[in-house]
Amino acid sequence: MYVSMREMLAKANREKYAVLAINCFNLETAKAVIDAAEEMHAPIIVDLLQDHLKMHLDYRYLTQPIIRMANNAKVEVAINLDHGQDVAFVKQCLQEGFSSVMMDASMYPLEENIRITKEIVQFAQQFNASVEAEVGDLGVVDGNQWTNTEMYTNPDDAIQFIQATGVDCLALSYGSTHGDYPEGYVPEFRFDIVEKIKQVTQLPLVLHGGSGAGEENIRQSVALGINKINVGSDFMKAQSLEIQKQLAKDAMIGYPELIHATMAAGKEVVKKYIEIAGSKNKAL
């Protein structure tokens, strides 16, 4: 069933669990994610990153086939544009059929972020699509050094942003990052940020950089009001490692068999995160 994030996150908000959003970049990764969700009877979000769509495979070749997969699925499936930073591109994705988009204008001052996001919220209404945004600046991995100076979301800014824009959900920076952490590093989360914003707004809140965040951090985040968790690196890493494993066993393995093996490996990661986020058996 193809839906927007609005309904599935509203249910997650009421019932205190989180929906997984998995970064996909082709039909095989999208199918692996949807298959995993069906096996776990969980709602799921197929995240299509703007950078992947521009550099790898155009949204015009991906959107409609994934929508068909979603409509044939036994669980709710949303397609979300992840980190859309080009306003025109975000609008094009909505026109193409995306049920949800993220307008990421977090690199701008707060008032400009509000202005840009509000424009997309209003534009998305004609498609009955949901809108995610971000306030704050996720930390980065710089070589072996973890940097988090001034990365945290200001709760008062986030509350003002939510009230001014009417977004359906908001991504916060409270300890996680995109990509891989240095080996052995487990990030420290500022849960007070989540608590304050949730208490005032009751909006579905989003954790980006779920890969490597740590099971306990994720469970605590969900308990305090995170209702969407983005996972990309662990999903893709599992598939890369599976390629290495299969080629080590048989360097001449058939390409279709190789791809099916990577899909199976990716599915297991998605199922693990669904379990941690509490969305197993939460599909309608």
Who contacts 156 (Cβ-Cβ below 8 Å, separation ≥6)? none
Distance between CA atoms of 188 and 210, rounded to whole angstroms? 13
The helix/strand/coil state of 99 is: coil
108 conformational bin, left if phi > 0, alpha if psi -120 to 50, beta if neither: beta
206: which strand partners? Answer: 171, 228
Q: Binding site residues for Zn(2+), as ranges?
A: 83, 104, 134, 178, 208
Active-site positions?
Answer: 82
Per the annotation, where are the binding residues? 83, 104, 134, 178, 208
Q: Which residues contact 32 (CB under 8 A, 6 or more apart)?
A: 263, 264, 266, 267, 270
Question: Taking the CA of residue 109 as centre, how many other CA atoms within 13 Å lie in the half-sphere pointing to its CB?
Answer: 2
Tell me the three state secondary structure of residue 2.
Answer: strand
